């Protein structure tokens, strides 16, 4: 019935953040900034694309934030792309290079990139979903030869909400990347397609049996994107997504992120559709 | 390990002896109910208590607990380490079973040091219940009416004496040097056996099915209309989770001193029954309906925890049923889920 307890008290507390110094801040959207962080000497985040950290500001609190940089470009630093949404993110947006915050992590399960190698990749980020997906996209581009086609179908509310415009331009110029952009509402600066992200899919031909799709975006988007992807004949195990939930601890204790029996911070946030389709609380 | 006997008359000495090196907490009367609180002398403790409002889990997982303290001058935060050596004297077997679950939860994968630090400094002295504590309890149905291990010492009331099952060296150490303690004789063992045999029929079985069927019953009850019915009645007040010995969900928050020079990060009990528990920053609530939250609660108690940790998430203490103003209870809920299935089978057979 009961098992002897391990000696665990010599380990550092899982609630103690490590100091990380802001090396650079740049705006990448109307409400979004990318922060580059440096960890103390000798430490590296050693993350997988799709994992997150708990970002901590003493006196304010903590929030889960996906790691936006790819492990292939870490160089002792990592990047978070943060939208100003409330208390913690609001204070973070006032910080500058040289300021220090805390991080715990990396936490959660990332995307299983080893299973994606050799496949055609279809990335479908919506809005802020590009922030976490950028980590995987850049990892794939940095080992481009290991993958088949790379297709990116990105939708945002309006042209001003398209994130990482410099990177979008570079991707657009590459002959080995097929980039499709759309916005829900256009404006005078916009000459591209107008419509929700799913309007891009009819234009994209895929070889369903050899394609892995990875989609990250707001909850409402998933239903429609999933319908399109399944309609194209992709298998449920080859469709991956990231599920956002309220999280307070990041380590499978506090209960907030539970999706039926699964803790999103432990079993996810990256899931294949096959893993979650039978869970009533997933989508 | 071994079986000993302490005369009840030795209780004052025993408490005094334990208090020399650590805090002793136990059940004591308060405003017509019982609560776990510090025991300064034998006159304060009531080991023959029915149940307590809040379970003794609060000594391992306090309602509010500081995780970090810090200065707002850029220096590193410090981890709060305030666990006190404590003897929990007189916890009932349901509450002991609940701590087995919490041990697994807080030790698994990422070790939760605040819990483990308190756990390492706590000695658990449980006591056998000889009569049902209240009409709402259903420990016998949940298999928590007794214990075989997991305690440091386990007491059985033998009238003038306590029979003492010694579970661990830590438990044995509590008895070192105490006058009046003796090894149990064959006679004492017979007394215990008789008391155990006599106690069993006093406790009713309140589930209408065997509890080992509970996880599978729930797995076919996800779409039951009962959840919406419970959702209509539930007040989302969170009393049920607040008094539960196996609930451990929490919120984390920061608090800055008025001087704005220092602060702390603490955790505080939270509840899946509260409206905003699963709301994310853009306002989307993943469990907006009370019915969905009740379903989540009863699935955690009867299935999810079993799947994850191999132990049921409910120990049948009955506290939530006692606390709920609209009479939502695990027994009624699970029996109700079981009933239509059985009737359906009967009809199909007829
Ligand atoms: C795995 C994961 C990855 C994420 N990745 C990113 C990312 O890469 N970039 C990014 O910008 N965001 C990301 N997020 C979202 C981010 O965590 C939230 O935006 C963040 O928690 C907001 O924190 P805050 O303190 O700034 O906001 P808060 O002050 O917590 O408030 C945000 C909003 O929620 C409401 N709110 C907050 N608390 C409550 C409550 N108790 N009850 C009711 N309403 C409440 C507030 O009213 C406010 O409108 C991610 C989330 C998860 C789970
Ligand atoms: S105590 Fe009763 S009314 Fe309150 S949240 Fe629990 S079930 Fe609902
Ligand atoms: S669910 Fe109710 S009966 Fe079961 S352990 Fe919790 S408080 Fe006790």
CATH number for the domain including A100? 2.40.30.10
Task: Identify whether residues B6 and B107 lie together within a single domain.
Answer: yes
Task: Identify whether residues B310 and B180 lie together within a single domain.
Answer: no
B150 and A1: CB-CB below 8 Å?
A: yes
User: Per the confidence metrics, is the pTM higher than 0.95?
Assistant: no
Q: Touching check for A90 and chain B: CB below 8 Å? A: no
Q: Which ligand is nearest to the CA of A57?
A: 1
CA atoms within 13 A on the CB side of B259: 7
A266 and B112: CB-CB below 8 Å?
A: no
ipTM of the complex: 0.91
Pick from B149, B169, B202: which residue ends a domain?
Answer: B202
Cβ pair A23, A77 in contact under 8 A: yes
Task: Identify whether residues B195 and B215 lie together within a single domain.
Answer: no
Q: Closest ligand 3 atom, CA of B323? A: 7
Asked whether residue A150 carries a pLDDT value surpassing 50, the answer given is: yes
Which comes out higher in pLDDT, residue B225 or B1? B225
**What is the number of structural domains in chain B?**
2
Any domain includes B291: yes
Distance A247 CA to ligand 1 centre (A): 9
Task: Identify whether residues A45 and A78 lie together within a single domain.
Answer: yes
Q: Report pLDDT digits (tens) over B284-322.
A: 899 999 999 999 999 999 999 999 999 999 999 999 999
Task: Identify whether residues A132 and A217 lie together within a single domain.
Answer: yes
Q: Touching check for B278 and chain A: CB below 8 Å? A: yes
For position A7, what pLDDT does the model report?
54
Q: Closest ligand 2 atom, CA of B238? A: 5
Measured CA to CA, the distance from residue A241 to residue B89 in angstroms comes to 50
For position A219, what pLDDT does the model report?
87
Distance A234 CA to ligand 1 centre (A): 32
Task: Identify whether residues B106 and B152 lie together within a single domain.
Answer: yes
Q: Which domain holds residue A142?
A: 113-231
- The string over A76-93, giving b where at least 16 C-beta atoms fall within 10 Å of a residue's C-beta and e elsewhere, is ebbbbbbbebeebbeebb
Q: Report pLDDT digits (tens) over A124-133.
A: 999 999 999 9
Q: Report pLDDT digits (tens) over A204-258.
A: 999 999 999 999 999 889 999 999 999 999 999 999 999 999 999 999 999 999 9
Task: Identify whether residues A223 and A277 lie together within a single domain.
Answer: no
Task: Identify whether residues B221 and B340 lie together within a single domain.
Answer: yes
Which of A167, A256, A271 is closest to A222 using CA atoms?
A271
Closest Cα to atom 8 of ligand 2: B234
A5 and B120: CB-CB below 8 Å?
A: yes
Whose tokens are 């019982």? That residue is B34
For position B340, what pLDDT does the model report?
67
Any domain includes B153: yes
For position A10, what pLDDT does the model report?
66
Asked whether residue A141 carries a pLDDT value surpassing 70, the answer given is: yes
Any domain includes B337: yes
Report the greatest alpha carbon distance in chain A.
Answer: 69
Task: Identify whether residues B20 and B134 lie together within a single domain.
Answer: yes
Using the Cα atoms of residue B128, residue B131, residue B135 and residue B138 in order, give the sign of their dihedral: positive
Task: Identify whether residues A81 and A36 lie together within a single domain.
Answer: yes
Q: Report pLDDT digits (tens) over A191-206.
A: 999 999 999 999 999 9
- CATH code (residue A159): 3.40.50.80
Q: Could you tell me what percent of chain B has a pLDDT over 90?
A: 93
- The string over A250-281, giving b where at least 16 C-beta atoms fall within 10 Å of a residue's C-beta and e elsewhere, is bbbbbbbbbbbbbbbbbbbbbbbbebbeeeeb
Asked whether residue B1 carries a pLDDT value surpassing 80, the answer given is: no
- Give contacts of A266 with chain B, Cβ < 8 Å: 109
Closest Cα to atom 4 of ligand 1: A65
Task: Identify whether residues B47 and B195 lie together within a single domain.
Answer: yes
A61 and B149: CB-CB below 8 Å?
A: no
Any domain includes A213: yes
Which of A3, A238, A216 is closest to A125 using CA atoms?
A216
- Give contacts of A255 with chain B, Cβ < 8 Å: 248-250, 270, 272, 277
Q: Which residues line ligand 1 (CB under 6 A)?
A: A 52, 61, 63-66, 81-83, 85-90, 128, 131-132, 244-245, 247, 269; B 276, 279, 281
What is each CA distance from A257 to A169, A251, A268, B253, B332, in whole angstroms? 36, 10, 10, 17, 28
Asked whether residue B51 carries a pLDDT value surpassing 90, the answer given is: yes
* pLDDT band, residue B347 (cuts 50/70/90): very low
* pLDDT band, residue B283 (cuts 50/70/90): confident
Task: Identify whether residues B120 and B229 lie together within a single domain.
Answer: no
Which of B281, B300, B301 to mutate: most A Cβ within 10 Å? B281
Nearest to B79 among A13, A102, A261 (CB): A13
Which of A266, A271, A265, A219 is closest to A241 using CA atoms?
A271
Q: Closest ligand 2 atom, CA of B239? A: 1
Q: Report pLDDT digits (tens) over B205-241.
A: 999 999 999 999 999 999 999 999 999 999 999 999 9
Task: Identify whether residues B144 and B219 lie together within a single domain.
Answer: no
Which of A27, A158, A18, A154 is closest to A84 using CA atoms?
A27
Pick from B183, B202, B221: which residue ends a domain?
Answer: B202
Closest chain A residue by Cα to residue B258: A59
Q: Could you tell me what percent of chain B has a pLDDT over 70?
A: 97
Task: Identify whether residues A224 and A251 lie together within a single domain.
Answer: no
Q: Which residues line ligand 2 (CB under 6 A)?
A: B 234-240, 273, 323-326, 328
B307 and A259: CB-CB below 8 Å?
A: no
CA atoms within 13 A on the CB side of A76: 8
Task: Identify whether residues A203 and A219 lie together within a single domain.
Answer: yes
- The preferred substitution site among B226, B234, B322 for testing ligand 2, maximizing ligand atoms within 8 Å of CB, is B234
Per-chain mean pLDDT for chain B? 94
Any domain includes B70: no
Q: Which ligand is nearest to the CA of A268?
A: 1
Whose tokens are 């279809």? That residue is A122
B267 and A245: CB-CB below 8 Å?
A: no
Task: Identify whether residues A153 and A220 lie together within a single domain.
Answer: yes
Pick from B150, B184, B202: which residue ends a domain?
Answer: B202
Q: Report pLDDT digits (tens) over A116-126.
A: 999 999 999 99
Per-residue pLDDT, averaged over B149-162, amounts to 96
Q: Is the CB of B313 under 6 A from ligand 3?
A: no
Of the candidate ranges A36-50, A126-140, B42-56, B112-126, the one whose mean pLDDT is the lowest: A36-50
Asked whether residue B349 carries a pLDDT value surpassing 50, the answer given is: no
For position B348, what pLDDT does the model report?
45
Any domain includes A236: no
Which of B174, B11, B209 is closest to B86 using CA atoms?
B174
**Radius of gyration of chain B, Cα coordinates, nearest whole angstrom:** 22
- Give contacts of A11 with chain B, Cβ < 8 Å: 111, 113
For position A217, what pLDDT does the model report?
94
Q: Three-class SS string for B192-236?
A: HHHHHHHHHHHCCCCCCCCHHHHHHHHHCCCCCCHHHHHHHHCCC
For position B98, what pLDDT does the model report?
97
CA angle at B314 for the pair B313 and B316, rounded to the nearest 5°: 165
Residue B237, both tokens: 């007040």
Cβ pair A183, A190 in contact under 8 A: yes
Which comes out higher in pLDDT, residue A229 or B346? A229
* pLDDT band, residue B137 (cuts 50/70/90): very high
Task: Identify whether residues A145 and A182 lie together within a single domain.
Answer: yes
Give B152 to chain A, closest Cα distance, Å.
12
Task: Identify whether residues B236 and B337 lie together within a single domain.
Answer: yes
Q: Which domain holds residue B342?
A: 211-246+273-349
Task: Identify whether residues A58 and A162 lie together within a single domain.
Answer: no
Asked whether residue A97 carries a pLDDT value surpassing 70, the answer given is: yes
Which of B150, B232, B248 is closest to A249 using CA atoms?
B248
Task: Identify whether residues A12 and A50 lie together within a single domain.
Answer: yes
CA atoms within 13 A on the CB side of B151: 28
Beta bridge partners of B251: B268
Per-residue pLDDT, averaged over B248-272, amounts to 96
Any domain includes A41: yes
Per-residue pLDDT, averaged over B280-284, amounts to 85
Closest Cα to atom 6 of ligand 2: B240
Pick from A85, A107, A129: which residue ends a domain?
Answer: A107
Task: Provide the CA A266 distance to its chain's centre, in angstroms.
Answer: 15
Give A1 to chain B, closest Cα distance, Å.
7
Task: Identify whether residues A102 and A179 lie together within a single domain.
Answer: no
Any domain includes B254: no
Task: Identify whether residues B122 and B218 lie together within a single domain.
Answer: no
Which comes out higher in pLDDT, residue A195 or B281? A195
**What is the number of structural domains in chain A?**
3
Pick from A63, A88, A107: which residue ends a domain?
Answer: A107
Task: Identify whether residues B121 and B241 lie together within a single domain.
Answer: no
């Amino acid at each position: 019935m009961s098992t002897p307890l391990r000696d665990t008290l010599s380990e550092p507390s899982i609630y103690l953040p490590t100091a990380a110094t802001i090396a650079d801040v740049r705006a990448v959207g109307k409400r979004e900034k990318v922060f580059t962080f440096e960890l103390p000497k000798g430490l590296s985040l050693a993350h997988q694309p799709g994992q997150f950290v708990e970002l901590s500001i003493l006196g304010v609190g903590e929030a889960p934030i996906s790691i936006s940089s790819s492990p292939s470009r870490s160089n002792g630093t990592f990047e978070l792309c943060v939208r100003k949404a409330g208390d913690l993110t609001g204070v973070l947006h006032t910080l500058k290079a040289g300021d220090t915050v805390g991080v715990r992590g990396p936490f959660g399960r990332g995307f299983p990139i080893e299973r994606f190698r050799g496949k055609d990749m279809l990335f479908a980020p919506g809005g802020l979903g590009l922030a976490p997906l950028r980590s995987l996209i850049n990892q794939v581009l940095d080992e481009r030869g290991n993958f088949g086609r790379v297709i990116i179908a990105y939708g945002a509310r309006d042209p001003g909400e398209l994130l990482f415009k410099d990177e979008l331009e570079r991707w657009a110029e590459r002959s080995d990347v097929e980039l499709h952009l759309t916005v829900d509402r256009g404006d005078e600066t916009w000459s591209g397609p107008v419509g929700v992200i799913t309007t891009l899919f009819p234009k994209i031909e895929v070889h369903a049996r050899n394609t892995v799709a990875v989609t990250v975006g707001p909850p409402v988007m998933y239903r429609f994107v999933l319908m399109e992807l399944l309609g194209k004949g992709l298998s449920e195990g080859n469709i991956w997504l990231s599920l956002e939930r309220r999280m307070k601890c990041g380590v499978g204790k506090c209960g907030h992120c539970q999706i039926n029996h699964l803790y999103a911070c432990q079993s996810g946030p990256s899931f294949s559709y096959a893993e979650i389709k039978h869970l009533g609380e997933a989508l | 390990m071994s079986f000993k006997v302490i005369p009840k008359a030795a209780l004052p000495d025993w408490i005094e002896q334990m208090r020399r090196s650590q805090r002793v907490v136990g059940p004591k009367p308060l405003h017509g109910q019982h609560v776990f609180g510090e025991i300064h002398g034998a006159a304060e403790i009531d080991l023959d208590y029915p149940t307590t409002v809040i379970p003794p889990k609060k000594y391992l997982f306090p309602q509010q607990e500081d995780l970090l303290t810090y200065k707002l001058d850029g220096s590193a935060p410090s981890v709060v380490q305030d666990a006190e050596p404590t003897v929990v004297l007189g916890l009932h077997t349901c509450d002991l079973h609940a701590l087995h679950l919490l041990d697994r939860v807080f030790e698994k994968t990422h070790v939760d040091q605040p819990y483990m630090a308190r756990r390492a400094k706590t000695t658990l002295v449980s006591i056998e219940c000889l009569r049902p504590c209240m009409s709402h309890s259903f420990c016998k149905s949940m298999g928590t009416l007794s214990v075989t291990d997991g305690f440091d010492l386990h007491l059985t009331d033998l009238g003038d004496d306590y029979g003492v099952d010694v579970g661990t060296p830590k438990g044995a150490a509590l008895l070192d040097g105490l006058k009046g303690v003796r090894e149990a004789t064959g006679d004492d063992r017979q007394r215990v056996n008789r008391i155990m045999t006599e106690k069993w029929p006093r406790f009713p079985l309140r589930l209408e099915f065997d509890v080992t069927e509970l996880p599978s019953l729930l797995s076919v009850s996800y779409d039951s209309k009962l959840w919406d019915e419970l959702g209509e009645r539930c007040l989302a007040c969170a009393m049920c989770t607040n008094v539960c010995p196996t609930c451990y969900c929490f919120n984390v928050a920061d608090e800055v001193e008025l001087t704005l020079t220092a602060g702390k990060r603490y955790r505080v009990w939270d509840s899946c029954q509260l409206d905003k528990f699963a709301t994310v920053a853009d306002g989307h609530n993943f469990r907006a309906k009370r019915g969905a939250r009740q379903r989540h609660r009863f699935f955690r108690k009867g299935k999810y925890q079993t799947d994850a940790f191999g132990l049921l998430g409910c120990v049948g203490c009955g506290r939530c049923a006692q606390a709920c103003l609209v009479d939502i209870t695990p027994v009624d809920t699970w029996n109700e889920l079981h009933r239509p299935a059985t009737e359906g089978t009967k009809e199909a057979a007829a």
